[in-house]
């Protein structure tokens, strides 16, 4: 025999404290479940955003590494010795432009006596010019060097070398030229 079903609006007669405790526990469990679900959703959203930022950083890292490898490849193709040689050539050209060659040759022509011949005048590694000349006698050579030393446009005259041959003396010297008379 089965028990009769009770369809009354108040099925429980009397106050049952255990029932109230179970109902309040169910409400607290429901609130805790809702809070846990909401907090979990926030954590998943933060995790997704963090993964997107990490993916962007990894993409940027890949781009930077690729550009670094490209730069290293380009740097490996640069011939430093050739570059240095070109810079030295450009420097000597610039030094040559800084010298007033017309005035220099005019001043040298005024100092040269008939027994001295100028073979070559060129810029040297330093800020000085080098001169190679030939003299018939030692006296003519010394006379030319003294005239060079006494001229106001020439300074820091340094005698480098001389070579004696049967008919002449070849000499080299370096000097700084300021230009003007």
Q: What is the CATH number of the domain that holds 171?
A: 3.30.1360.100
122 in Cβ contact with 92 (< 8 Å): no
pLDDT tops 90 at residue 48: yes
Residue 135 lies in a domain: yes
Residue 139 included in any domain: yes
118 & 168 share domain: yes
* Alpha-carbon dihedral 129, 134, 137, 139, rounded to 10 degrees: -10
Domain span including residue 65: 16-78
Residues 41 and 72 in one domain: yes
pLDDT-based confidence at residue 64 (cuts at 50, 70, 90): very high
Per-residue confidence (pLDDT) for residue 61, from 0 to 100: 94
Each residue's pLDDT tens digit, 136-151: 999 999 999 999 999 9
Regarding pTM above 0.75, the answer is: no
Domain match, 62 and 124 both = no
Q: Is residue 26 part of a domain?
A: yes
Domains identified in the chain, total number = 2
Q: What's the rounded mean pLDDT across residues 83-99?
A: 74
Res 167: pLDDT: 87
Question: Strand 129-135's sheet: what is its strand order?
Answer: 116-123, 129-135, 169-177, 154-164
Residue 61, classed as helix, strand or coil, is: helix
Distance (Å, whole) CA 170 – CA 152: 25
């Amino acid at each position: 025999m089965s028990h009769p079903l009770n369809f009354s609006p108040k099925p429980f007669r009397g106050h049952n404290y255990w029932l109230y405790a179970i109902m309040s526990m169910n409400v607290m469990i429901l609130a805790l479940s809702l809070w846990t679900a909401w907090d979990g959703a926030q954590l998943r959203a933060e995790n997704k955003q963090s993964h997107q930022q990490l993916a962007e950083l990894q993409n940027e890292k890949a781009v930077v590494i690729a550009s670094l490898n490209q730069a290293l490849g380009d740097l490996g193709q640069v011939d430093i010795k050739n570059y240095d040689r070109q810079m030295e050539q450009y420097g000597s050209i610039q030094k040559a432009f800084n010298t007033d060659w017309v005035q220099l040759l005019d001043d040298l022509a005024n100092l040269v006596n008939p027994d001295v011949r100028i073979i070559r005048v060129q810029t040297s590694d330093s800020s000085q010019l080098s001169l190679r000349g030939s003299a018939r006698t030692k006296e003519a050579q010394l006379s030319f060097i003294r005239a060079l030393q006494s001229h106001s446009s020439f300074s820091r005259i340094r005698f480098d070398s001389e070579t004696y041959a049967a008919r002449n003396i070849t000499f080299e010297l370096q000097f700084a030229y300021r230009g003007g008379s």
